[in-house]
Amino acid sequence: MKNIVVAGAGFAGMWAALAGARQAALSGVEVSIQLISPTAHLTIRPRLYQSNPQALAVPLHRTLQPVGVEHVAATVRSIDAVNKCLNATDDQGVIRDLPYDSLVLAMGSQVEMPEIAGLKTHGFAIDDFQTAVHFDQHLATKAIISGLDTIVIIGGGFCGIEIALEMRGRLSEHLGVDRARNARVVLVDNQSIGGPLGEQALPVIRAALESANIECREHACIVEVRKDQVVFDDGTEIKTDTVLNTAGLRAHPITSTLNLPQDSSGRLKVDDHLRAADHLFAAGDVAAAFADDDHLALMSCQHAMPMGKCAGANAVLDLVAEPLLVYRQPDYVTCLDLGEAGALLTRGWDRQLVMAGQEAKGLKNQINNQWIYPPMDDASLILEAAAMDWHPSRGQLKN
């Protein structure tokens, strides 16, 4: 029996494994599918800016077991693409060699670490389950600390804006309404805050930040993070024990060990079938894939899910010598949470504003609480959800 290994259990990895199971059934072949990750849950990563991140872990067994996918609790340490084998260790430190006939690499990304002295030691992040929970626990400890109710957020992009506008609500849960209202929340970017999100969206974003009394420092550069303060390049200082880094993402460092072409973010360059090398496909944040003829897919759940489905199906099709699917995702939207100000929706790569306020908030809540969650327990629903949805006007091979 042929063996397909999926490395990584984020949105791309989970959907790759499920789509592989679906394609095997469609092709009438028996394959073994193993999903490798150290933890047996899917982290709902797009929601980690919200309170109670402890609740944002979905058990994988209720989605994998009904369709015959095996979860292997281990951490991938290295990949031998020539001999088609993974080296991994389990939580007991036992080393395992896992051979594969076809591999889907979907190990995601990590927060980019700017070259700021002390940031790695004293800063926080929310780019995965563990760091998000750690940050939330830190906020809780502030309930017994007075005098440092200042939060500095580095990065005025999508994630930085969302958590800045969520911060007073989160602080209210830990510190009480009065302290949260009077807390100082500072959003810092060395360029413009929210600029890449589009000219039409920018006034809406700025109004939301002003309404929430978020202090914005644009074109500002922090040069040092200390235990109880940050220092800017102009010599000014802010007293704080809470510095959160949201300054972009970089592909998992395992990509750099493969001696394969990468982009500037460490993502593997793939062809239209998401193939990075023979019998090796990449999906999600480790893949530099074209979503249409002109634009690379972004490191986002929106692109990771369809990429995972395409790569998982192709891992099977590759083994049975059937035509591979072409990945394309021409429809691009941005739905940004604006806290009490609602949300905004843009459409297209030029980010035309479509909706804002509470109507957009309803859509954002639907995305966060329904659309990105996988079906559970029912094999037929799970396999149905694993089908790739192709834009009807593009003419791609349908699955």
Identify the residue whose tokens are 């109710």. Answer: 149
Same domain, 227 and 165: yes
Domain boundary among 207, 224, 245: 245
Same domain, 255 and 318: yes
Task: Over range 330-349, report the average pLDDT.
Answer: 95
The pLDDT value recorded for residue 388 is 81
Sign, CA torsion 232/235/236/242: positive
- Asked if residue 313 lies in contact with residue 321, where contact means CB atoms within 8 angstroms, the answer is no
Residue 144 has pLDDT above 90, yes or no: no
Longest dimension (CA), the chain: 67
User: In this predicted model, what pLDDT tens digit does every residue of 147-162 receive, in sequence order?
Assistant: 679 999 999 999 999 9
Same domain, 200 and 163: yes
**Residue 392 forms part of a structural domain:** no
Same domain, 31 and 133: no
- Domains contained in the chain, number: 2
pTM over 0.85: yes
The pLDDT value recorded for residue 248 is 87
pLDDT-wise least confident of 5-14, 137-146, 217-226, 379-388: 137-146
Same domain, 119 and 241: yes
Report how far residue 361's alpha carbon sits from residue 294's, in angstroms, rounded to the nearest whole number: 30
Q: For residue 61, what are its two tokens?
A: 């067994």
User: In this predicted model, what pLDDT tens digit does every residue of 249-261 receive, in sequence order?
Assistant: 999 999 999 999 9
CA 210 to chain CA centroid, Å, is: 27
Report how far residue 182's alpha carbon sits from residue 5's, in angstroms, rounded to the nearest whole number: 51
Give the three-state DSSP class for 104: strand
Same domain, 74 and 117: no
**Residue 359 forms part of a structural domain:** no
- Asked if residue 299 lies in contact with residue 10, where contact means CB atoms within 8 angstroms, the answer is no
HSE toward the beta carbon, residue 312, CA cutoff 13 A: 38
Residue 146 has pLDDT above 80, yes or no: no
Domain that holds residue 66: 2-110+249-330+375-385
Domain boundary among 226, 245, 264: 245
The pLDDT value recorded for residue 147 is 63
Domain boundary among 245, 267, 300: 245
**Residue 81 forms part of a structural domain:** yes
**Residue 354 forms part of a structural domain:** no
Same domain, 171 and 239: yes
Q: What percent of the chain has pLDDT over 70?
A: 96
The pLDDT value recorded for residue 57 is 97
The pLDDT value recorded for residue 152 is 97
**Residue 353 forms part of a structural domain:** no
The pLDDT value recorded for residue 390 is 45
User: In this predicted model, what pLDDT tens digit does every residue of 233-289 receive, in sequence order?
Assistant: 999 999 999 999 999 899 999 999 999 999 999 999 999 999 999 999 999 999 999
